[in-house]
Amino acid sequence: MIDFNVMETIKLRKSVRRYADKTVGDSVKNELTDYIQGIGSGPFGTTPRFQLLDLEPLKNKELRSLGTYGFIRGARLYLLGAIDDQQGAHEDLGFCLENIILKATSLGLGTCWLGGTFKRAAFANRINLASNELLPAITPVGWPEEKISTADSLIRFIEGSKKRKPWSALFLKGDGDTALSEAEANEYKDVLEAVRMGPSASNRQPWRIIKDGSDKFHFYMKENIMINRIISKVRLQNIDMGIAMSHFEMTARAKGLPGGWIMKEPPFICPGLKYIATWTLNKKLKAVVGD
Ligand SMILES: Cc1cc2nc3c(=O)[nH]c(=O)nc-3n(C[C@H](O)[C@H](O)[C@H](O)COP(=O)(O)O)c2cc1C
């Protein structure tokens, strides 16, 4: 159950790479664990497997093997997300883990999606990864260090972490040729803005959305092969698409615009874009909004 202000939390979330020397106490940890246990499956119907890994009891040698190449400092808790290697599973991981990350943000915790800069094999051992499973991403979870280090500022500067592409580059109308203005988005303006604010691998923002009529939104991925195919079977940009879907769905529901996902490619010709899914308003669901 979403028990936090979705828009405010999406605005608050940012990648935290330096953590304070302060344990996450049992009450906060239990609240997060309960939330993780209730998360279920994503829009494609697959259920990611999550494990909260507490590094506190580990010995120094074991800790050293669980590295993040210096990208993350001071975190004692990590959340690991494993999937079965099947259609839609990366999107579902993006969808479910982003939902959990927003819950953690609402509790004041810091997180950082990690798809590349962690020792995958060592973390895979900790979650007992099965042969048909992948470990596409993990996140540290902890209290953010108040003073941002020079190294962190440097990563944020290089990646342009705060920057997002303009509306005109992400959102289109009709057949996918013309940009959709904020005014034309009508009551979906905040919903699309929530997608635009989302995190993505190397901040590439591969999401492209076509508004079809008044209440249908087709989600496409503008794939960057270097980023999406570099790690064997892991697809970081398909995760980005799931993150966009989670921001869209959570904000739409919060605004009283319930709907659901269908996976049926529309007949538009969109060179260079891969179809992922379509959100359709479903007024019949209105009764359950706010549950
Ligand atoms: C799927 C995914 C994988 C990512 N992998 C890494 C990573 O390996 N290392 C890292 O430092 N940041 C990683 N990031 C964080 C992005 O760099 C970050 O989200 C982006 O620059 C936007 O910044 P923000 O999260 O502060 O808004 C990843 C983000 C996503 C969504």
For the stretch 35-57, pLDDT in tens is 999 999 999 999 999 999 998 88
250 Cβ inside 6 Å of ligand 1 = no
Q: Is the CB of 159 under 6 A from ligand 1?
A: yes
Q: Which of 69, 101, 112 to mutate to test the pocket of ligand 1 (most atoms within 8 A of CB)?
A: 112
pLDDT value at 228 more than 90: yes
In three state form, how does the secondary structure of the chain look? CCCCCHHHHHHHCCECCEECCCCCCHHHHHHHHHHHHCCCCCCCCCCCEEEEEECCCCCHHHHHHCCCCCCCECCCEEEEEEEECCCCHHHHHHHHHHHHHHHHHHCCCEECCECCCCCHHHHHHHCCCCCCEEEEEEEEEECECCCCCHHHHHHHHHHCCCCCCCHHHHEEECCCCEECCCCCCHHHHHHHHHHHCCCCHHHCCCEEEEEECCCEEEEEECCCHHHHCCCCCCCHHHHHHHHHHHHHHHHHHHCCCCEEEECCCCCCCCCCCEEEEEEEECHHHHHHCCC
| Least confident span in 61-75, 128-142, 157-171, 206-220 | 61-75
Best mutation site among 18, 73, 96, 202 for ligand 1 pocket (most ligand atoms within 8 Å of CB): 202
Tens of pLDDT, residue by residue over 87-125, are 999 999 999 999 999 999 999 999 999 999 999 999 999
Residue 154 has pLDDT above 90, yes or no: no
CA–CA dist 134, 120 (Å, integer): 10
pLDDT band, residue 285 (cuts 50/70/90): low
Q: What percent of the chain has pLDDT over 90?
A: 80
- What is the pLDDT at residue 272? 94
Instruction: Determine the pLDDT at residue 33.
Output: 98
Does 291 have pLDDT greater than 70? no
Locate the ligand 1 atom nearest the alpha carbon of residue 237 and give its number. Answer: 1
Q: What is the pTM of this model?
A: 0.95
Lowest-confidence range among 174-188, 205-219, 251-265? Answer: 174-188
pLDDT digits (tens, 9 = 90+) for 8-36: 999 999 999 999 999 999 999 999 999 99
pLDDT in tens, 210-221: 999 999 999 999
Tell the CATH superfamily of the 163-288 domain: putative nitroreductase (tm1586), domain 2 (3.40.109.30)
Report the topology of domain 6-155: NADH Oxidase (3.40.109)
**What ranges do the domains of the chain cover?**
6-155, 163-288
Q: What pLDDT is stored for residue 146 in this prediction?
A: 84
Domains 6-155 and 163-288 share a fold: yes
